[in-house]
Homo-oligomer: A and B are copies of this chain.
Amino acid sequence: MTEQQFRYCGLNVALKALTGKWKPVVLFHLFHNADIRSNELWRVIPKVSKKVLLEQLRQMEDDGLILREERHHFPPEVYYRLSEKGKALGTALVGLEAWANEHAPAQVADILAQEKHPPLSGQEK
């Protein structure tokens, strides 16, 4: 049991890559949208502060999950999108999605309910 090189090491790595309150959201937005401006992100994810979001984006970039791309230098437009690695991770996560929907539908529904962020005063895009 001790020496058996239990194969959860990779799991740890994967979870570390996902550790961060907003990374999953970011990942999924990018997974479904391919291309997002940072500003758009922190308009779409209503409750995160610039600083924190940036931190997480940096970490994800460092982890090779996402790619940062500055387009025209003015007005400053910075796009983020998934790398291949990131896409692969997204794909792997689909299994977790499925698991949750199958085995914990109630909690999923709960989150959906909260997630309504109902006021959202403003632009519907």
Copies of this polypeptide in the complex: 2
> Does A108 make an interface contact (CB < 8 A)?
yes
A24 with B6: CB separation less than 8 A: no
A111 with B32: CB separation less than 8 A: no
Q: Is the interface of A mostly helix, strand, loop or mixed?
A: helix
B97 with A7: CB separation less than 8 A: yes
B115 with A9: CB separation less than 8 A: yes
Residues 1-50 (chain A) with a chain B CB within 8 angstroms: 1-18, 24-25, 27-29, 32-33, 44
B11 with A97: CB separation less than 8 A: yes
A17 neighbours in B (Cβ, 8 Å): 104
A4 neighbours in B (Cβ, 8 Å): 32
B14 with A100: CB separation less than 8 A: yes
Please name the 7 residue pairs, one residue from A and one from B, whose CB atoms are nearest each other, closest first.
A10-B100, A8-B28, A14-B96, A13-B100, A10-B97, A92-B95, A9-B111
Binding site for B on A (CB under 8 A): 1-18, 24-25, 27-29, 32-33, 44, 63-64, 85, 88-89, 92-93, 95-104, 107-108, 111-112, 115, 117, 120, 124-125
